[in-house]
Amino acid sequence: MQEQLPYLPGTGRGTARQSRVVEGQPRAPAPLLRAPSATVHRARRLRKELSPAELRLWLALRDRPGDLKFRKQHPASFVVLDFYCAPARLCIEVDGEAHDRGDQPAYDEKRDALLRLHGIETLRLPAADVFRDLDAVVTHIVATARARLPLHHPATPDGPPPRSGEEQEPS
């Protein structure tokens, strides 16, 4: 039996993902932050209207630093994420001076909490830092994203260890 699931960020081109449900097997993760069409349209518009700091950072992130893929102006629920790394479930927000004024800090905290509920961590970067030292910002983003990637065991240079009872051949 196939079950239709809503769109999940990081699963494709916005099409519904189908999952085979097998008894006794764990189900796929719960749907994440499906974006309504108004948010998708807003994200498409914002991709063409990046701020100078966002544009500068995007020019560095689109080259896939650390072999990580980033999306710009990614729709999630009713919000648009400045940049998103799906494998690391990391949102990168470039904050200008306006984020320090009025009720914006409270709004940002609620927004970050919503994303955290869905397993997405938010990394907030001041726009001034992007202009001051772009290399350091990109290095910080890559390190944060790598720390959030699922654990994999890298291959050892000499290959896997011998099975129990087998002798290792001398080199």
**pLDDT tens column, 36-76:** 888 888 888 888 999 999 999 999 999 999 999 999 999 98
Higher-confidence residue of 28 and 144: namely 144
CA distance 167 to 144: 41
Residue 145: the pLDDT is 94
Tell me the DSSP string of 40-93. HHHHHHHHHS--HHHHHHHHHHTT-GGG---EEEEEETTEEEEEEETTTTEEEE
Q: For the structural domain made of 55-149, what CATH number should be given?
A: 3.40.960.10
Residue 153: the pLDDT is 61
pLDDT band for position 6 (50/70/90)?
very low
Residue 5: the pLDDT is 37
CA distance 130 to 78: 26
